[in-house]
Amino acid sequence: MTPRTALTTRTAGGPVTATYWMDHAWLGTHVEPDVTVEVADGRIAGVRTGVQTPPPGATVLRGLTLPGLANAHSHAFHRALRATVQVGSGTFWTWRELMYQVASRLTPDTYFDLARATYAEMALAGITSVGEFHYLHHAPGGTPYANPNAMGEALIAAAAEAGIRITLLDTAYLAAGFGEQPNRHQLRFSDTTADAWAERASLLRGDDHTLIGAAIHSVRAVPAGQLATVAQWAEERDAPLHVHLSEQTAENDACLAAHGRTPTRLLADHGVLGPRTTGIHNTHLTEEDIALLGSSTTGTCMCPTTERDLADGIGPTVALQKAGSPLSLGSDSHAVIDLFEEARAMELNERLRTHIRGHWTAAALLRAASADGHAALGRPDAGVLEPGAPADLTTIALDSVRTAGPVPRLAAETAVFAASAADVRHTVVAGRHIVRDGRHALIEDAPGALAAAVAALHH
């Protein structure tokens, strides 16, 4: 065998604190064998190819190593709904009633327990960063906690204990609908005004693993005259801003009746759209809506496993991307937590809708699950195996019953179209080995923690 040339690129920083050797790595365009990544100060300090044997002291990652995955849209407490909401039939709106029941039982302590276990499940699925769309702010009845951010800080602490990064997208949720006061369930969500929301959200603080962003729950939940307040708060901090957008046709109809325009046009008219903004779902859009989102480079986060679970519909994802809207992926209600399934479903949904195969390459789908997702969460330097990027890695097995057989050069296609979260063997965050050989290094019994946290909310 002809030896490959070892290529080393190193950035300025401290001494190398960890070295990982990968028998196969995804370098953005192709699968490269025999790759070493050196870590310093939590970032990739060097990438070397052609290293045919592991260097002394290196940690060996067998399989295909990818940049860490980004779950761009999560409601952690929805994890307690899994299976429960599959009984019977209904619509998004009947599902929402069950969601409210779980939300009514949460306290800062029980939310911490559930989120910690949910984020551990994410780490086990190869997710290194989550965008938590957080709107459960207050005690039942709407009374603020003594610490007004007790619930948000519980989520931040939960992510830290589970070993993953979090962008806490603190959410303005002020109304039940256009001109409607919050119902008894939604009182926990509401700060009453956008100014009051901004005052509370301004008390939140980030750290090395935490970014603070903003969210508008939806155009039905934030009065039009207060949308700009939330957008300005995010702009002043150069923070990501997310919004549920046109998930349901009922929202579009109500917005047209109240304002004579679509939700997308309403957001555009109030300065919400732009490159730091991501629309969640973007399902039921007009051609003008698509043009507005694309021309403003507003992102689109698709959550296919939730959108199909809730019978929401299939959004115009191809058209959005062609118009200029970057695509990211989220597990949303956590019907499952599996970014490979989200990526696969986005492509397969389009095949069903159009009767045509191959709308995205495996490389493009992996980018949506990693780099573009991290960018949507305020980390544009993440999601690549390059010097200077955060040392966040995900390794999937290439010898499981799902992934065995294809040649290694097709490992990206194997990952997207055959692998599942169950194939994740290693997860590394900031150079720290969080999942090793399929076991969480920080939470010894993640399934048990999930079972206990969910059971506590159903008794």
Active site residues: 281, 332
Dihedrals φ, ψ of 321, to 5°?
Answer: -65, -40
Angle at 89 between CA 118 and CA 305, to 5 degrees: 40
As separate numbers, helices (DSSP H) first and strands (DSSP E) second, the chain gives 15, 17
Token pair, residue 259, equals 């304002």
Amino acid at 455: A
Beta strand residue intervals within 249-372, DSSP E: 277-281, 299-302, 327-329
Rounded Cα distance between 104 and 222, Å, is: 21
Amino acid at 219: V
Rounded Cα distance between 264 and 315, Å, is: 14
Coil, helix or strand at residue 10: strand
Helix ranges (H only) for 52-211 are 92-103, 108-124, 150-162, 194-201
What spatial distance separates the first Cα and last Cα of the chain, rounded to whole Å?
63
Rounded Cα distance between 294 and 211, Å, is: 25
- Strand order of the β-sheet with 165-172 is 69-74, 127-134, 165-172, 210-216, 241-245, 277-281, 299-302, 327-329
CA-CA-CA-CA dihedral for 381, 385, 388, 392, to nearest 10: 70
CA-CA-CA-CA dihedral for 397, 402, 406, 411, to nearest 10: -50
- Residues linked to residue 69 through DSSP beta bridges, in sequence order: 127
Token pair, residue 416, equals 């997207």
